[in-house]
Amino acid sequence: MSTTRLKAFAGVGIIAVFAAVGLSLRVGGTVTAAPSSESQPDDPRGAADVRGGATPPAGGFVPAYLALHESGELAERARQLWAMMESCNLCPRSCGVNRLAGAQGFCRAPGTQLVVASVQPHFGEERPLVGRSGSGTIFFSHCNLRCVFCQNYQISILGRGNRTSIDELANAMLQLQAFGSHNINVVTPTHYTPHIVAAIDVAAARGLRIPIVWNTSGWERVEVLRLLDGIVDIYLPDMKFASSAEAEQFARSPGYPEQTKRAVLEMHRQVGVARPDSEGIVNRGLMIRHLVMPDSASGSKEVLDWIAANLPPDTYVNIMEQYTPHHEAFSIPRIARRVTTAEYQQIVDHAQQLGLTNLDSRTARWLRE
Ligand code: SF4
């Protein structure tokens, strides 16, 4: 990317581009309000106003969703997912509330309304997603977990963001592609799965051709993931906890470990191992994240044991060391501190001893010769 282009994007240009589609911006760590968006259509079939103009990526990559869009299956999947909100079971919480009638479940998503916190090319994600031009992130408001250490709790719990139509979401995807983002990275997408699939269908008609990254807590229902088969190119799930007790204490999701294991196996079945192209960019595959927490609170060794025993040894794993107490974590002495170098090194050593060969490049810095 040229310096001139980046400067233009980081300045007035970015505000004009994303304000035009009615979304909020996160620039320099703060959320900047943009004009409020149109009201949300009640049904994804209401999205229209097809426009072209986006630039497909080079290299002959064909995204998984294109064939489903052309056959009409993508629109059908969106309809099926939308119907699930009548007694909402989009995620393992299975609240059973009628979101079509405006009810809110545990995640606090306001009925069928879509709320977006920010849209931006992101350069802090995994290197195979960022490349030279960034990962095109779209952060969604609200969340079906309650992580006591959440660093985005204003968005995930307080729901900060702007109500956004499916049409606007599709346009945001196209703007990210036009900028040169390597992918569309939907962050905390689960409770808006129907909206995202509907928007991909609209955007595909207008020229979207870059891969979709499903950037999820990992806590997904396999039945819903099956409806994403052939739509998502890259799954980027967390595996946050090894133990149910800690998942309950730190994220109010006691069944998290077993549910997430089933979900990750399904993700791997769909997209396989993440392999970079000649430019080092991943366009398809499974990329797992695990955050090391103080005092083994996230069960890192057990999580890695499971990955090594159930997935190929070259499965991409990002062992993250950046845990920092946020939100309510300061009042829980066990996790009210950062991870020490020794704690982190132990986990990386363990991964290496297990024979995991595809550790994220930032993790690899810690590997001993
Ligand atoms: S998506 Fe929200 S409302 Fe639906 S089951 Fe999950 S937490 Fe409940």
pLDDT digits 0-9 by tens, 176-211 = 999 999 999 999 999 999 999 999 999 999 999 999
SS3 176: helix
pLDDT tens digits along 67-95: 999 999 999 999 999 999 999 999 999 99
Alpha-carbon distance 281 to 130, whole Å?
8
> What residue's CA is closest to ligand 1, atom 2?
107
Task: Tell me, yes or no, whether 4 lies in a domain.
Answer: no
CA of 168 to the centre of ligand 1 (A): 23
Band the pLDDT of 31: cuts 50, 70, 90: very low
Task: Tell me, yes or no, whether 16 lies in a domain.
Answer: no
Q: CB of 167 within 8 A of CB of 49? A: yes
CA quadruple 353, 272, 173, 98: dihedral sign = negative
**C-alpha distances out from residue 247 to 126, 266, 284, 296, 359, Å:** 25, 21, 29, 13, 24
Task: Tell me, yes or no, whether 56 lies in a domain.
Answer: no
Alpha-carbon distance 152 to 158, whole Å?
9
Task: Tell me, yes or no, whether 26 lies in a domain.
Answer: no
Mean predicted confidence (pLDDT) in 118-145: 96
Ligand 1 near 91 CB (within 6 A) = yes
Query: Which CATH number characterizes residue 155's domain?
Result: 3.20.20.70
191 CA closest ligand 1 atom index: 1
Ligand 1 near 94 CB (within 6 A) = yes
pLDDT at 32 over 60: no
pLDDT at 54 over 80: no
> What residue's CA is closest to ligand 1, atom 3?
105
pLDDT above 70: percentage of residues in the chain: 83
Band the pLDDT of 57: cuts 50, 70, 90: low
Mean predicted confidence (pLDDT) in 271-290: 96
106 CA closest ligand 1 atom index: 7
Q: CB of 141 within 8 A of CB of 186? A: no
Alpha-carbon distance 168 to 179, whole Å?
16
Neighbours of 97 (CB within 10 A): 20
Among residues 277, 287, 349, 282, the alpha carbon closest in space to that of 318 is found at: 287
Alpha-carbon distance 349 to 93, whole Å?
35
> What residue's CA is closest to ligand 1, atom 4?
88
* DSSP helix, strand, coil percent of the chain (3-state; round to 5): 40, 15, 45
| Partners of residue 320 on adjacent β-strands | 291
Q: What phi and psi, each to the nearest 5 degrees, are found at residue 30?
A: -115, 150
What is the extent of the structural domain holding 306?
A: 62-364
Task: Tell me, yes or no, whether 89 lies in a domain.
Answer: yes
Number of domains in the chain: 1
Task: Tell me, yes or no, whether 263 lies in a domain.
Answer: yes
Task: Tell me, yes or no, whether 317 lies in a domain.
Answer: yes
Q: Which two tokens stand for residue 320?
A: 């993250």
Ligand 1 near 89 CB (within 6 A) = yes
Q: Measured between alpha carbons, how far apart are the two ends of the chain, in Å?
A: 34
Alpha-carbon distance 243 to 240, whole Å?
9
* Residue 141, pLDDT score: 97
Ligand 1 near 107 CB (within 6 A) = yes
97 CA closest ligand 1 atom index: 3
CA of 91 to the centre of ligand 1 (A): 6
Task: Tell me, yes or no, whether 238 lies in a domain.
Answer: yes
Ligand 1 near 320 CB (within 6 A) = no
Ligand 1 near 192 CB (within 6 A) = no
pLDDT tens digits along 224-238: 999 999 999 999 999
